Every structure is written in structure tokens, then in C-alpha cells.
A and B are shown apart, each in its own frame.
Chain A
Amino acid sequence: MWLAAMGCLVPARAAEPIRIGSVIDLTGPVAPLGQFGKRGIDIAVAEVNAAGGVRGRPIELVAMNSESKPDLAASLALRLAAREDVLALIGGSFGATQLALGSIAQKEKIPLVSPTGYVNDDQRNWRYVFFTLVDFSDTAKMMLAYAKSKGFKRIGLIRLEREYGELGSKYLHQFAGDYGTEIVAEERAGDGDRDFTAQLTKVREAKPDFLVVWFANPGGALLLKNARQLGIRVPMIAPVSMDNAATVKVGGPAAEGLLIASQIAGSEALDRQKQFVEGYRKANPEAPNPNTFEAIGYDLVKIVVAALEKTSEPYTREKVRDAIGTLNYAGAGTVARYSATKNDPSAETIVLTQISNGQFVLAK
């Protein structure tokens, strides 16, 4: 109420900005993901505003740092939801903060576009929350389909303990049989672990012909180094969490040839991605190839903007939600065909990439 009253004190201008609340984990354990996302978000906001905003109104980000803490994320979401001028939320960099933000978005009926995917099946029914990271079951199927196409049958899995790895494991086990493959070994490790030779030795004993590394950096890159050190030479594939420079910086030569179920190959952008990659290169001349999380950050803003353009003024949260809920969007990191029954991207979002000469390129 105070805030609304304060809003009245501000003299009305011709172009009142459109406000989007952003709750991103810029510090804490998942800071890397949050920082990537922010880079993309900033590019998108600058681009939209340089082009004159939405119907002549600039976009204004109300940006908050949730520090990788779910309870702080929930507080910030409530704070933003209480501001009537905030039309939509973006953010939630990983499972726990995403769940917190999403629960509040549902309760307060404010649309949220999140740079993550489902972590819990119940989220498939969430009306106000939209995802941009592909469903991990699609990632798992894609990996298995690749294995099948190359004639691999014995799949080894080494994965993160936390929810992300848990989901990968669940779907790989669920669908392995459908593709004529078998999970012959599964080992786990934590985000903090830095030596994986013990786990990899157990995996090696099961003699897999294809290895899924469902992990995040820097552990994932060290895992690749350990695997090479142990003489494991089978092809390896990783999910999108390893689509970032650390894989190459830390993994070095051991990362060569790694396949990644990614959502963008920065050096070989698809048509739908070119606009973003150009903007990205201008903003980051020293690191010219964006990764998936940077691309998705850009999409978060662009999805809200697309919805605003689709619907009519005066904007309300409900109208923005309805517009996102039927959006057909093909952007930098995600291809979304949201509908009443689907609030996450379609499987065609996946771009299979491979590390070659230290670059992420489309897999041949």
C-alpha cells in the first residue's frame, strides 16, 4: 500500500517503464549459473530498449540477488509480488531457488519465467511458471537415442548427488530399455568432490562402451581429466550443465571430444540464435561464444516481451500469463510452444554439441 502510494507521488510520464522483477543467484554456490543468466538478461534488456521498448515503453528490471538461498528467494518474490507495477518475474537459477520462486508465483498469481527445467513432476501443472531448460527426460532420451544410433549398448553413468543428477538417473533408467541399452554402472559424487578416480574405477570395471557424465563444473571437468588419467577412452556425453568455458579451461585436452546435450553452439549459431550471438559478441568481445545459460537469460526477457507485444494494454499479470501460456517462441536458447498442457520447451530445443579444439561446435 505504501509502495502504491509512493508510486502516485512520481509524476506520470509519457513512457512509464514496464517493470519485470528479476531474482537471480548472483552469489553463493550457484553463482556461476546466476552470473551467466544475468549476462544474457542485460543484453536482452539493452536490445529491447534500444529498439524503443514495448509499444514505446522501456523495460525496467527490478533486479535482486537471492544468494542461492531458497528462503531469501521466497522473500524477494513476495516483495516483488507486492509491487503492483511489477508485471512478471524472471529467475530462480537452480532447483531450490526455482522451487521457492515458483511456489510464490503460483500463490501470488504472478507469471514467472525460469532459466531451469522441471525438478518435480508436480510442477507440470503449475499455471504461472514457465521453463526454458528442456525437460531432463528429453535430454535422457536424446542421449540414449545417440547411443543407439552409434551401436552403444552398455552405458556407464556418473552423476551428481543432488536433484539434478537424481533426475538424470531416474530418466536414464526409465528409458534405457526402450533404446536397447542398459545402465551397467552408476556412481555418484557431490558438488564439492574433486577426485573421482575411485568412482571411475568402479565404472571402468563394468566395461561400459558409452559414458554419461551428468555433472556440473568444476567437478565435471576434473572428472574428464580423471577419466583420461585412468585410461577410459569411451565416448562421453554430458547434459547442458557442462556447456560452459570451465569444461575447457579446467578439463583441457581431456575435454576434447566430449558431447553435450546443449541448447546452443556459440560458434555455429542457428538462424534463431544469430541476433543474440551478435549482441553477445558486442558486449563480450573477449569471450565471443555464449553458452546455454547466457542464451536462456536472454530468452527470459524476450519471452516476457513477446507476451507483452502479443497482448494489449493496459497490462495485467493475468494477461501477461495468458499471453506467455500460448506463446510460440523460438529464440537464442529455447524453443517454446507453451500451451495449457505444456509449460516447458519442446524437445527440438536440444542442440547436440561437441568440444573440438577447445571450441563448442555442432556435433558432426
Chain B
Amino acid sequence: MSFSAFLQFLFSGVTTGAVYAFVALAFSVTFTSSGIVNFAQGQFVMIGGMVAASLCAGYGIPVLPAMLIGVAAAAVAGLVVGAGFILPMLRRGEFTLILVTLGLSIVFEALALIAFGTDPLSLPSLLDLEPLMVHGASLSPDSILLVAAILAVLAGFHVFVRYTRWGRAMRATSIDTSVAASLGINVAFTIALAFVLSATFGGLAGVLLAPVISTGAQTGLLMTLKGFTAAVLGGISTPAGSVAGGFLLGLVEAMATGFISSTYQNAIGLGLLILLLMVRPEGLFTARTRRA
């Protein structure tokens, strides 16, 4: 195996990993603020990508404004989910909430299929540049943008949680909703905010992915499954852990393809996950603070 091949697997893993990381982060944002695993998470990625791509392809709107509208559409969908469906159901317990998001996921996909049709779409690249060649391995500028974006979003989110009033409210809510409420925090607002944020991250992932891996009305569920795997792998209870889980999953899959077999790529990623859960039931990159 040549060095350039290894490097190529590495690039491939990091690109795919950045995709997973985006969705994993979005999972983590709602999980940490409200304890909800949002099974409609991948649909925000779909909505962002499909809205942008169809505006661009169908109405000739330039790439950047199309992308912004795509992200905004995802954020609105997040608001609808959070305020319209999650908040009224909040008292009904974790299981009901998971099922509500599952139902929403089915509805979003069915609507997208009717609105956008079945054809996959692509967006033109934001950076219309030739791929870089590094020691015989090729790296697409869109991949670099994707990685830069996830790292920037993670850093931004970190600052938001640490240093803003709303962010601190979110953290307090994640620890204990009733205590947060007694401190005068508007819990409903905070949870809705978390959903809008996580949908925005999903939408951002969607518009940035579309030029690299295309998008389609049915990409949502796949994104949900991969993102969820990544989040659990890294530790869904910490945003940074989730992002790390995304990159780890992407790298494991790419290396498995490269050195073992592409057939078992998924199985190896998931096998690793099972083993890891046996040893560290709350994910790899989490501090073991709480004990069940």
C-alpha cells in the first residue's frame, strides 16, 4: 500500500467524517438541552440541501443566496418541530418524544418527495477550484471548506454556550429543567432555541454537502442514522465529543475500506461502536461525571 493511497483514505475519511460530525453535533445540541434524541435530525440536512439546490437549479438563483435560503428553511423547520411538536409533548416522556420525531421524519420525507420529486440534485461548488494534489492524493477544496465549517461552527457554539445569556440558559436547562425554571430561565424558549440551532446546523450541513455529495428528497434518514451513530460513538452528551465521533466514524470507515474491505466498512464501524459501548457506555469522548 503506497503512501499516497493511505493519504487518500485519510482525506476520504475526513471528508465523510465532517459530514457525520455536522449531523452528530446537531443531535448533541438538542440532546444536551432537552434530553431528546431527534430522529428527524437528518431531515433538516435534506431540507437545507434540497431547498438550496432546487432554487439554484430550478429558478436560477445564485449559489450563495440559495444556500442562505436553504439554511433559513431548515431553521424554520426546526422552529416548527421544536415549538409546534416538542414543547406541547414535553411532559409525555422521552419515548413519546422520540416517536414524535420519528413521525415527523416520515412526514418530512414524504412531503419532500411530493415537492421535489425523486431526482437527486447537486449544487455548484462555492469555490470553483481544481482539487489539490498532495503526494499523489487528491483533496477537493469543498472538503476543506466542509471541515473548516464544522470546526468553526463547533467553536462558535462553544462560545455561545459559555459566554451568552441564552447559551448559559441552555446549559442550565440541560442539567435540570425544574431548577432552571426556578432560576427564572424560560425553559420553553430555551428548548425551542435548541431546536432552531440544531436545525440550522443541519441545514448548514445540507447546503455545504450538496456540492460534494449531492442531495435528494430521501437523504434524511441515512443522515439521521449515520449522525446518530457518530454522536453515540463520540458521546452525544457533549458537542465536542459528538464532532470527534463524526470524524472517528468517517476515518474508521475509510480505513476499513482501504485496508480490509469495502464490504465490511459499515459492519466494522458498527462493531467498533458496540465494543466501545461495552467499555464506555456513554461514548468515547465524555468525562465520566454522572453515574447511572
Is any CB of A less than 8 Å from a CB of B in the complex? yes
Q: Enumerate chain A interface residues (CB-CB to B < 8 A).
A: 27, 29, 31-32, 35, 161, 187-190, 192-195, 197-199, 201-202, 205, 217-218, 221-222, 229-231, 244-246, 249-250, 252
17 pairs of residues in contact across A and B, judged by CB atoms under 8 Å: A32-B119, A187-B262, A189-B262, A189-B265, A194-B213, A194-B214, A195-B16, A195-B254, A197-B138, A198-B258, A199-B257, A201-B9, A218-B120, A229-B140, A231-B138, A249-B121, A252-B122
CA–CA, A230 to B119, complex, Å?
26
User: Is B272 on the interface with A (CB-CB < 8 A)?
Assistant: no
CA–CA, A193 to B269, complex, Å?
13
Known: A187-B262, A201-B137, A250-B214. 13 other contacts (CB 8 A): A31-B118, A32-B118, A189-B262, A193-B265, A195-B15, A198-B8, A199-B262, A202-B258, A218-B214, A221-B120, A229-B138, A231-B138, A244-B119
Question: Closest B-chain residue to A231, C-beta based?
Answer: B138
A246 touches B119 (CB 8 A): yes
Q: When A and B form their complex, which 3 residue pairs have the shortest distance between CB atoms, in order from nearest?
A: A194-B213, A218-B120, A32-B118
Instruction: Using known A-B contacts A31-B113, A202-B258, determine if residue A197 contacts B12 with beta carbons closer than 8 Å.
Output: yes
CA–CA, A328 to B12, complex, Å?
50
Question: Closest A-chain residue to B114, C-beta based?
Answer: A27
Question: Smallest Cβ distance from B103 to chain A, in angstroms?
Answer: 16
Question: Smallest Cβ distance from B111 to chain A, in angstroms?
Answer: 11
B121 touches A250 (CB 8 A): yes
B262 touches A201 (CB 8 A): no
Instruction: Using known A-B contacts A195-B213, A197-B8, determine if residue A249 contacts B254 with beta carbons closer than 8 Å.
Output: no
Q: What residues on A are CB-neighbors of B57 within 8 Å? A: 249
CA–CA, A246 to B265, complex, Å?
26
CA–CA, A197 to B13, complex, Å?
9
A205 touches B118 (CB 8 A): no
Instruction: Using known A-B contacts A192-B222, A221-B214, determine if residue A249 contacts B120 with beta carbons closer than 8 Å.
Output: yes
Q: What residues on A are CB-neighbors of B117 within 8 Å? A: 35
Within 8 A of A (CB), among B190-238: 209, 212-214, 216, 218, 222, 226
User: Is B11 on the interface with A (CB-CB < 8 A)?
Assistant: yes
Within 8 A of A (CB), among B232-286: 254, 257-258, 261-263, 265-266
B5 touches A205 (CB 8 A): yes
CA–CA, A217 to B216, complex, Å?
10
CA–CA, A205 to B137, complex, Å?
12
A197 touches B11 (CB 8 A): yes
B118 touches A250 (CB 8 A): no
A201 touches B131 (CB 8 A): no
Question: Closest A-chain residue to B120, C-beta based?
Answer: A218
Question: Smallest Cβ distance from A4 to chain B, in angstroms?
Answer: 34
User: Is B182 on the interface with A (CB-CB < 8 A)?
Assistant: no
Partner of B138, one of A161, A188, A230: A230
CA–CA, A241 to B111, complex, Å?
25
Q: What residues on B are CB-neighbors of A201 within 8 Å? A: 4-5, 8-9, 12, 137, 258
User: Is B2 on the interface with A (CB-CB < 8 A)?
Assistant: yes
Q: What residues on A are CB-neighbors of B137 within 8 Å? A: 201
User: Is B110 on the interface with A (CB-CB < 8 A)?
Assistant: yes
B131 touches A229 (CB 8 A): yes
Instruction: Using known A-B contacts A29-B218, A221-B214, determine if residue A198 contacts B254 with beta carbons closer than 8 Å.
Output: yes
Partner of B16, one of A161, A188, A194, A231: A194
CA–CA, A219 to B235, complex, Å?
29
Question: Closest A-chain residue to B133, C-beta based?
Answer: A231
Partner of A27, one of B12, B113, B140: B113
User: Is B47 on the interface with A (CB-CB < 8 A)?
Assistant: no
Partner of A218, one of B11, B131, B216: B216
Question: Smallest Cβ distance from B57 to chain A, in angstroms?
Answer: 8
Question: Smallest Cβ distance from B223 to chain A, in angstroms?
Answer: 9
Question: Smallest Cβ distance from A65 to chain B, in angstroms?
Answer: 11
A35 touches B120 (CB 8 A): no
User: Is B19 on the interface with A (CB-CB < 8 A)?
Assistant: yes
CA–CA, A31 to B119, complex, Å?
9
Question: Smallest Cβ distance from A237 to chain B, in angstroms?
Answer: 20
CA–CA, A221 to B290, complex, Å?
47
A194 touches B19 (CB 8 A): yes
Q: What residues on A are CB-neighbors of B266 within 8 Å? A: 190
CA–CA, A201 to B110, complex, Å?
37
Question: Smallest Cβ distance from A124 to chain B, in angstroms?
Answer: 27
Q: What residues on B are CB-neighbors of A231 within 8 Å? A: 138
CA–CA, A197 to B7, complex, Å?
11
A246 touches B258 (CB 8 A): no
Instruction: Using known A-B contacts A32-B119, A202-B258, A246-B119, determine if residue A222 contacts B214 with beta carbons closer than 8 Å.
Output: yes
Q: What residues on A are CB-neighbors of B5 within 8 Å? A: 201-202, 205
Question: Smallest Cβ distance from B112 to chain A, in angstroms?
Answer: 11
B119 touches A249 (CB 8 A): yes
A198 touches B121 (CB 8 A): no
Q: What residues on B are CB-neighbors of A202 within 8 Å? A: 5, 257-258
Question: Smallest Cβ distance from B140 to chain A, in angstroms?
Answer: 6
Partner of B262, one of A31, A188, A246: A188
CA–CA, A229 to B265, complex, Å?
22
Q: What residues on A are CB-neighbors of B265 within 8 Å? A: 189-190, 193
Q: What residues on A are CB-neighbors of B131 within 8 Å? A: 229
Question: Smallest Cβ distance from A117 to chain B, in angstroms?
Answer: 21
Q: What residues on A are CB-neighbors of B140 within 8 Å? A: 229
Q: What residues on B are CB-neighbors of A246 within 8 Å? A: 119-120
Instruction: Using known A-B contacts A32-B118, A197-B8, determine if residue A205 contacts B216 with beta carbons closer than 8 Å.
Output: no
